[in-house]
Structure 1
């Protein structure tokens, strides 16, 4: 089929973090633009936010797909499994929430492109909190449990992390 490198991947390095950091940046910037537009009453910020959300809503599915693929190749050991499971569940949930929030934002944009509701901003704030949780879980998977790092892959293959 394909050969795996010393990180247990068919390509040089993990792609999931690259894509997901792009998504995180776009969503955080969209949130910043919405807040700025709302607080300063300058609706041109809403247009910037809208397009960031659209691109992030598309890109998040690539992040999830690569995350699933790389998780399947990760050889997670028992201590890492709960963090990886929660990261996976939260990632799928965030993709659905982001697309839903983007759709809501699109409806608001069509109704009145110069106005944004406080309820929407509240929901966007909840989304930001869930993204922060996801960043924490991803940090655990990568920096604490070291999935796809060479020493952890070697130790798992040698049966030292059972």
Structure 2
């Protein structure tokens, strides 16, 4: 835990080791993941639209190919914008973390190494999201603006690969909460030897 940061900002930390009741980073992570996954899935759906058209016709669903790409584009922009806040809150909460030093995760990593890898990974993923958004924007507004298929196959493959990276990165984050109990109220109270029944009433 960064005591200097706490003193400088005059923070009053709660039972979970944060100045607010619910950790913000995990909440924003779910929003980031949801937006990015939807973006890639809808771009894939738009790309495969000629195959899907008979299904939509059979189900009497009015579907326009460009609409799939619109959803993909705007969700990607949203994911990238939200990720700036996700990373910012993540680093703030990591600075206030006070994990036990004698634990190991399922991957054999200490809390310190897990936090380091998760933090660096967050910055790298933010950069990747920005790069993907620029790449997607160039396809939408310049390179493929006059074609029915708005995205390149290489872009879709990159998106699927990033989903795999997000899974590994998210697992590191899950280790911080589930195995090390970072900013988990009950875990923090147990670590401090406090009476949970009294403090959580």
| TM-score where L is the length of structure 2 | 0.74
Matched, 1:88 2:119: yes
Q: 1:96 Cα shift? A: 0.4
Residue 19 of structure 2 corresponds to 10
1:61-72 correspondence runs (5 A):
61-72=84-95
Residue 104 of structure 1 corresponds to 135
Instruction: Give the number of equivalent residue pairs.
Output: 158
Residue 76 of structure 2 corresponds to 53
Matched, 1:123 2:158: yes
Structure number with greater Rg is 2
- C-alpha separation in 2, matches of 1:62 and 1:157: 30
| Unpaired stretches in structure 1, ≥5 consecutive residues | none
Q: 1:146 Cα shift? A: 1.0
1:20-49, CA deviations, whole angstroms, 9 ceiling, x for partnerless residues?
Answer: 110100000001101101111423211110
Conserved? CA contact 1:87–1:137, under 8 Å: yes
- C-alpha separation in 2, matches of 1:16 and 1:149: 12
- In angstroms, what is the RMSD of aligned CA positions? 1.5
Conserved? CA contact 1:23–1:59, under 8 Å: yes
Conserved? CA contact 1:68–1:88, under 8 Å: yes
Q: 1:126 Cα shift? A: 1.5
| TM-score where L is the length of structure 1 | 0.91
Conserved? CA contact 1:75–1:156, under 8 Å: no
